[in-house]
Every structure is written in C-alpha cells, then in structure tokens.
Amino acid sequence: MSETRYTEQHEWVRVDGDEGTIGITRYAAEQLGDVVYVELPSIGKTIAKGAEGAVVESVKAASEVYAPVGGTVTAVNEALNGDPAKVNASPNDEGWFFKVKLANKAEFDQLMSEDKYLDYVKGL
C-alpha cells in the first residue's frame, strides 16, 4: 500500500516499499500555468532531501522541483519530454517527475499528510 506526503514547496512523494515517486501538487501546477518543458534528473543520480531534482518551465516561470526525500534516482517520467502538459492535466498521477530509492524512510515520515497539506494551502 502506498502513502503520499507533501512539502510546503508543493511537492509530493508517494512511497511504496522503499521507492518514492515525486511530483508537484495540483496547486503548484495551477500556479505555474501551462507547463511547456521539464528537465529530469539522470537515473542513478543521488539527490539529497531538499535538493533540486528537476526543473519545470511554464509560460509564466521556471521553477525547481525539490526532492521531498533523499535517495538515488531509479526512474524518470520520459513521457513528460514529449508531453509536458501532463503535469497540468494529471499532476498527482501521470505528471510525476522521477522515482527514488529512499535513503532514509524517516524523511518521509516528517512530511505533511494530505489533510495537513490541504489546510496549509487554504492559508495561502
């Protein structure tokens, strides 16, 4: 069973076993506007929690996607290279950016639950 947690920078990570899938929230996608380009990390790259994992560019701005948890990149969403609009259409599913093998499960446990994240966004 997978569980999803969130950051204040509007990234999410869905963990299943020792692998985390990382993307941006619907709120972040809406703030960015139409996504036109993504830059994904290399498979095998080690990313620390809070470090830049990917870059997303929209018609409004370019923004970094920070790793909510540290780990080694095991997969990237190649579909975004041909269709970056998937980030807007399905930010929580088809619009994921990359997957990591978790370095420290405790980092995941420190992130916000969905309810806490939704309360956080209401206050913005």
The 10s digit of each residue's pLDDT in 49-94 is 999 999 999 999 999 999 999 999 999 999 999 999 999 999 999 9
- Answer for the pair 80, 120: CB distance below 8 angstroms, yes or no: no
123, burial (CB in 10 Å: exposed 0-12, middle 13-18, buried 19+): exposed
Write down the pTM of the prediction.
Answer: 0.96
Percent of the chain residues topping a pLDDT of 70: 100
Domains and CATH numbers, the chain: 3-122 (2.40.50.100)
